[in-house]
Structure 1
Amino acid sequence: MASRTNPFTFLQQVRAEVSKVVWPTRKETVVTTIMTLILVFLTAIFFFVVDQLLSYGTGFLFG
């Protein structure tokens, strides 16, 4: 089992680790957000089309 660290040392370690994080720039964040929204939209269209085709197919078979 690991030894216990006092709260002050723990907070120092947390600050040291957070300072190592490379945060994305505003431009990177905007581009990533836009790409995510586009892919979500395209995925929604794809599943809508597949759902309509399956609905038509089952309606044709059983209707």
Structure 2
Amino acid sequence: MAITNPFQFLQQVRAEVSKVTWPTRKEVMVTSLMVFAMAILTAIFFFFVDWMIRTGLQFVLNFFGG
């Protein structure tokens, strides 16, 4: 692998960065809000799943435990 000097490296980096399609501010906001919304929905879902498992386990332990 050939070693390039720092100046050539920076030129190549600039060329590659110019090819990137950057999202607009609106796209970033919408996708960020969707990520937060999905995280909240997932947390609520797992809260209820955990609650149902805990309730069921307590019922079983109380039924057989005495």
Same fold (TM over 0.5): yes
Which structure would you say has the larger Rg?
2
User: TM-score when scaled to structure 2?
Assistant: 0.90
User: TM-score when scaled to structure 1?
Assistant: 0.94
Q: Residue in 1 aligned with 2:60?
A: 61
Which ranges in structure 2 are unaligned for 5 or more consecutive residues? none
Coordinate RMSD, CA, aligned:
0.6
Identity %, equivalent residues: 58
Q: How many residues align?
A: 62
Return the letter of the residue paired with 1:37. Answer: F
| Deviation, structure 1 residue 38 | 0.7
Q: Residue in 1 aligned with 2:41?
A: 42
Which ranges in structure 1 are unaligned for 5 or more consecutive residues? none
Return the letter of the residue paired with 1:41. Answer: I
User: In the TM superposition, what are the counterparts of 1:1-63 in structure 2 within 5 Å?
Assistant: 2-63=1-62
| Deviation, structure 1 residue 61 | 0.6
| Deviation, structure 1 residue 52 | 0.1
